Structure formats: structure tokens, C-alpha cells
Chain A
Amino acid sequence: MSGLAAFAEALLADDAPCPPGLVTWNGSAPDKRFAVYRNNVIVGLVDALADSFPVTRALVGEEFFHAMAREFLRRSPPRSPVLALYGEGFAEFIAGFPPAAALPYLADMARLELRRVQAWHAADADAITPADIAAVLADAENLPAARFTLHPALFLLVSAHAVVSLWAAHQAESVAAALAAVNPAQAETALLCRRDLEVEIYRIEAGTTAFIGRLQQGQAFGMAVEQALQADDDFDPAAALALLLRAGAITHITIPRRSDP
């Protein structure tokens, strides 16, 4: 093993001894000095996760979160120096982390927070205006064939737990009171999108989820509405479009014109 390989391995291993080949000017044991590097690495990466997953952290408390994050980063150190996006795989790790089993919604909260970070840093794009969409809606004949381009910062997250309500409760002034009103076992779907640099998180119903999901996949408006109605009889396309507009989520609409006979 090369010198740096042993150094790197000892940084991440829990109780590994100091790597060989280190010297000090005063003959002091190098362990305590090496520990500065280990501490920098571990604390730096735990802090990166703590910054990206604040509600996950709040749900379990600082001590638990730090222990869980350390375990994760030892198994899955970042593969890229772009730490802003570190945390891919954290939710899956949490789902299989036995000490977190008592909080079945914790993994989905981590999924939501990772999406939130991704939405925060996603590419910029200008949203269309209500006037733009009015013109599209007025063209009833061609509307079903219209294809929507959605914002790069738009994400959907379907959860068997009340992730949106739990997340929102942690933004409230009195978190405890807000949390008391949440039933964590309630299934919810989150719509995330960025408007004026801020990421907004909306709770959406099954029909809207199907509708936006199909639009995001590039399906035509008519097809997306059909799928949404299959998911939910009460689906209201106008309300769903209004939500997308409010979220700044539509960046372009293409209407294929029928060629004249």
C-alpha cells in the first residue's frame, strides 16, 4: 500500500491507528496530530450533510444525526469535490439503518431534502407568464397536443408518509405544536420548484401528481389529463395548471399545428 493510501484509509476508519511513516520535530507521538486531519475530514463531511438535511437532523436530534452521518460517510464518502450535492444515497442508507427503524418516514424526509438541495442548485430557466398560457388555453383545438417543458428545478416525490406536512411543521414558529397536528402515516406527494431563488414545496394530490409526472416525461397535455383522471376522478386541470404557473414551473409550451388540408 502506498503512503497516501494508508493515510486515506486511516482517515475514514473508526479506530485505525495512525498511518506509518509520520514524524514530528519534537519526537512526540504523531497520533494526536494525525487526529487533526481525521477530525477535519469527518466533521467537515458531517457538517456538509447537516447543512443539506436540516429537518432530518431535527427529527432525530444532533447526536443521533452525527452518529448516523458518520456511519454513512464512512461507507459512502463523496465521489466528487462538489459537496453542495453530497448526500445521494443517504436516504437509502437511512432506510436500512436499524437504529432509525422507529421513524419510518425518516428516509423519505432525507429524499425530500436531497431534492430540495438539487432544486436549489438546478439550472436557471424563465417561467412563462399567465398571458402566455392564456393564449394556449384559448386554442382549444390544439391544446390536447401541447407539450410542456417544465423547470429544471421541478421535482416530484411520492411518499407513504406525511413528508410535506412534517417538513412544513419544521418551518413553523412553534415546531412542537405544528408537529402535534401531523399524522406521519398519511401518504403525501411533494412538488418542489424554485421561484425567485427560493425552493417552494407543495403538497399535491394523486391526479395532479400523475398530470405533472406525465408532462415532465414529455407526454402531451391531453394524454396527461387522461392519466390524471384515471388516478383521480376529481382531477381539475385548471387548478393543476394554476399551481404550475404559481410555482413558476412551466418554461415553455410547444403546440404542434395541424397541417392544413
Chain B
Amino acid sequence: MILGSTPNRRAAAARPRSLPARAGIGLKPEHFRDILDTAPDLGFFEIHAENYMVDGGAFHHYLTRIRERYALSIHGVGLSIGGEGPLDEAHLDRLATLLGRYQPESFSEHLAWSSHGGAFLNDLLPAPYDAATLARVCEHIDRVQERLGRRMLLENPATYVEFAASTMAEAEFITQVVRRSGCGLLLDVNNVHVSCTNHGRDARDYIDALPLYAVGQVHLAGFAEDTDAAGAPLLIDSHGAPVAEAVWALYCDALDRVGPMPTLIERDNDIPALPVLLAEARHADRILERLLPIARGAAA
């Protein structure tokens, strides 16, 4: 059969499709030239939306060229979906412009807040899991999905404290959000490991309690180790180290439950040379390939 370039096909091709069930890495300015020069075989690149909310210059120059060759995930870190105030509509406008320009296969944000009273605090901060937060988060996600005209993925957080005011467990809260808003789940396996260690929970039980049917992407990253005031382990979601063995193991378990998923290797601090990140991505790819014997056979 010949796939003709009919208007219908062109229209279909112009729609954002989904990310491949392969490994991708975060796009860093340090690697712009290396990527264009070496054209590494990768499932996708991910950018933090806010870094590209500028008018022009090198960031757009390189992203435009890299986007032409790779699938793209846009990951927001500044919408403050868990915040008490209304969503920042100007920021939502900037996001809509960025998504319109680059047509990413995926858009995701965090179950967290980062702005309060007009100040941007530049961290992913926790909120109590109660009815008021649930209503607010769902309202905000509704607005985001309406404004952007697409479904978003919500990422489970890494947290260091819990609230006396919480009336439900985090996984239950996320389940409610996903059910009410129709958003998807970005399963950050490192965040699961970090949070469950920090709050004395079983990571596998936690994952089992999530709405796994809604998972659309997986994140992997490295953490830093500290201790709390009682000497118990306190893991910090630093994105500054290779993915830990415990997180790889949890990733394998999670994939057994959700199937092959686009998987991001995140590294935002102490950024190594490109080949180091590509090696981690290949490791994730090998784990994914074990789940894809049919697809592999068909491609051979």
C-alpha cells in the first residue's frame, strides 16, 4: 500500500502524537552543539518550559533545530498547580505560545506549588492532601487543559514533610485528581523512592495505589542523601547524580505493571558530558526492550 500525502494524512501528521516508549534525556544548553553534531539515537528530548519563555536567541535557535529531528516533551516547573491563588494566566499564555510553537508530543507539570502572593519561590513545594487542595488542584488542571487544548500529565512529587491537615494518602489524592480532571500521570520513580524513604512508606505499595492506567511517562533521576533530626534517612531529589540501583529496580517493577513507557533520564545539576547521559538512556532502553519482544521482532 502506498501512503499518499493526502490532505487528511497531512492533517493527522500535524497533530501532536505521543512520545515513543523509549528513553529520552533533558535538553541542556551545554549539549546543544554535541547533539546536532553527533545526532544521538534517542527516543526524545525534554525541556523545562520556563527556560524557553524568552523571545529569541540561542535557546530557540538550537531547540528549533533539535525539535526538527527529535520527539519533544515540554515539562513545566512554574505553573504552581497546587497554589492557593488562581493560576497565573499570563504564564499560561506563555505556555500556550511555547506549545503552539514547538508542538510537543507531551506536556506535563507537577503536583506542587511554587508561587505565593505574586512571588515565585523556584521550588516544588508540598500542600496538604485535603478536600480544599483537591478541589483547587482539579480546578487548576481543568483550566490548564482547557487553555492548552490538550491533556496534561501530572507528576507525583518528592516531599520532605507531611501536613497534619492531610485527610488522605498521597496516592489516593492523585487517584482522585486523575479521575476528576482526566489528566494523565507522570510516574516519577525517583520521587516515589525519595518520598517513600522520607515518610517510611513501602514504595511498591505506593505505586500499586496509584492510578496506573493513566501513566503516560516515567521519570528517573538521582538523589542526594542526608538524615532527618532523628537520624533517619532523608533523601533529597537533587537531579544531580546518576539513577540509583534502588530506583532502577523500582523502575523495572513499575514497568511490569504499566508496560513500556517513554522514560526520561533527568539531570539538572552537576551535568555530565552528553555520552554519560546517553549511557543511562541506553540502560533504560535495554530494560524497555525486554518488554517489547514483538515490536523488536517486527523491526528486525
Contact = CB atoms under 8 A, between A and B. Distances in A.
B127 A4 contact: yes
A83 B54 CA distance: 10
B234 A33 contact: yes
Interface size, A (range): 35 or more
Contacts of B108: none
B244 interface: no
B36 interface: no
A38 B171 CA distance: 25
Contact of A197 (B53, B61, B123): B61
A26 interface: yes
B116 A4 contact: yes
A78 B216 CA distance: 32
A251 B123 CA distance: 40
Interface size, B (range): 35 or more
Nearest to B76: A81
A260 B122 CA distance: 62
A33 B57 contact: no
Interface in B80-104: 80, 83-84, 88, 91, 94
B50 A81 contact: yes
Contact of A33 (B50, B59, B160): B160
A112 interface: no
A91 interface: no
Interface in A28-63: 28-34, 36-37, 40-41, 44-45, 48
Interface in A6-43: 7-8, 11-12, 21-34, 36-37, 40-41
Interface stretch (B225-233, B249-257, B270-278, B286-294): B225-233
B115 interface: yes
Interface of A: 2-5, 7-8, 11-12, 21-34, 36-37, 40-41, 44-45, 48, 77-85, 120-125, 152-153, 194, 197
State the 8 A-B residue pairs at the shortest beta-carbon distance, nearest first.
Answer: A81-B78, A28-B230, A121-B54, A124-B56, A8-B116, A123-B55, A25-B200, A77-B119
20 contacts: A2-B84, A4-B116, A5-B116, A5-B117, A7-B125, A8-B116, A22-B164, A23-B164, A24-B162, A24-B230, A28-B230, A28-B232, A34-B160, A120-B58, A121-B54, A122-B55, A124-B60, A125-B56, A152-B55, A197-B57
